[in-house]
Amino acid sequence: MSRRHVSVHRTAITDALAELSGRETVPLARARGRVLVADVAALAPMPAFDNSAMDGFAVRAAEVVIDSPLPVATRIFAGDTGPGPLLPGTVAAIMTGAPLPAGADAVVPVEQSDERADTVSFSAAPDVGAFIRRAAADVAAGTLVVPGGTVLAPRHLAALAATGTAAVDVFRRPRVAVISTGSELVSPGAPLAFGQVYESNSVILAALCTAHGAQVTYADRAGDDGDFEQKLAAAVATADVVLTSGGVSMGEREPVRDLLSDTGWFGPVAMQPGGPQGLTRWRDTPVISLPGNPVSVMVSFEVLVRSALRSVSGLPEVQPTSATLVADVTSIAGKTQYLRGCLQADGTVEVVGGAGSHLVATAANSNVLIEIDSAAEYLPAGQEVPTWPLTQ
Ligand code: AMP
Ligand code: MG
């Protein structure tokens, strides 16, 4: 069977998932972490009106003479909607955020004042414009507040709310189901009998999917002898795409391959680790089948699935960084090799652990995948290689 090139299988997954792309409108309270579809402009200017930056007195600057009392004609509070104009020769007590009365051109803070009975005198003379927040000084109505494509952080939500936006159009989060297969698997926390293996693929796949814009609506385990179809039926009832692990190689009990082989593609991808892969469609739902070894699962997701999920979620592509190998590397010609690596701040990268795709605990010490071209068999120390950041 001929091997599929990594980029061919990655494109096939991207194409299969393209139909999941969608948009929805969500209130700001539920928008953190979501990806904004399009630019959002201010509906209202910020500030919407000239107002006081301090608790103090609205004055005509030219009328203030130090220690000469002026009458306090009125008091203006935040939320007052119709303060009258400031009468010549008077001042208005004004609170922070309250609208500046017409005619006033400065605010004297309360700390520089001495209010008695109906008059106030000042210990300092203000400049014109002092302690006034001018309308639209932050942003004018119709001006861009948050650009499309932004992953909304709390500060963006504040800017949107402050300029009058209540809800935003964001990319839909695709619903993903995860099924791990293997009769040997046991949940961590339970006792481990001889021959059994703690199950780690569902937790890493769920976390990876969530990190790249998806929501995990189903996660379960199937044995190798009978219940995979039933679990898959439950999965497609809740999800837009299913990720499976294990059961796709050439052994005698390969439940994923056995059930799905007539519904799409199974075969080796020319990569190491992560060779055996599948991409099928069951009950009108795309099913991406990854191998079972835990390191193969991590690498397969990062190399083959991540970009497809990010694309439907509206997230930008992850970019590689070039790094310098600190030691010689040998590789297998004909397969793109993805070594776990530790990228340092000085731009050098060191291979972490061996090639074994069961070395899941060792892989936890890596922060990148080092991509070794399929044509290469030997790369000397000092060679520049592309590295791909692992999901944080
Ligand atoms: P398979 O691809 O099903 O033949 O599995 C390959 C290897 O990965 C076997 O050693 C399995 O025990 C192991 N494995 C498969 N699935 C998981 C899982 N969900 N968690 C941990 N190890 C697994
Ligand atoms: Mg298995």
Domain limits, the chain: 6-22+173-313, 25-43+147-170, 51-133, 321-389
Contacts of 72-75 with CB under 8 Å at 24 or more apart are 72/115, 72/118, 72/119, 72/120, 74/101
Name 281's bridge partners: 286
CATH for the stretch 51-133: 2.170.190.11
Q: Which ligand 1 atom sits closest to the C-alpha of 248? A: 2
Q: Residue 71: what pLDDT?
A: 98
- Indicate if ligand 1 lies below 6 Å from the C-beta of 258: no
Q: Residue 2: what pLDDT?
A: 74
- Indicate if ligand 1 lies below 6 Å from the C-beta of 275: no
CATH for the stretch 6-22+173-313: 3.40.980.10
What is the value of pTM for the model shown? 0.91
CA of 277 to the centre of ligand 1 (A): 14
306-313 helix and 6-17 helix, angle to the nearest 10 degrees: 30
CATH for the stretch 321-389: 2.40.340.10
If one counts every other C-beta atom within 10 angstroms of the C-beta of residue 325, the result is 22
Range list of H helices, 34-180 = 154-162
CA of 240 to the centre of ligand 2 (A): 24
Q: Residue 143: what pLDDT?
A: 98
For the chain, give me the number of helices (H) and strands (E)? Answer: 8, 28
Which one of 185, 228, 266 would you pick to mutate in the ligand 1 pocket, going by the greatest count of ligand atoms within 8 A of its CB?
Answer: 185
Range list of H helices, the chain = 6-17, 154-162, 201-211, 228-238, 255-260, 294-300, 306-313, 360-363
- Indicate if ligand 1 lies below 6 Å from the C-beta of 247: yes
Q: Residue 1: what pLDDT?
A: 58
**In whole angstroms, what is the distance from residue 9 CA to residue 11 CA?**
5
**In whole angstroms, what is the distance from residue 85 CA to residue 331 CA?**
81
Mean pLDDT by 10 residues, the chain (392 residues): 90 98 98 98 98 98 98 98 95 98 98 97 98 98 98 98 98 98 97 98 98 97 95 98 96 95 96 96 98 97 98 96 97 94 98 88 95 96 98 97
Q: Which ligand is nearest to the CA of 253?
A: 2
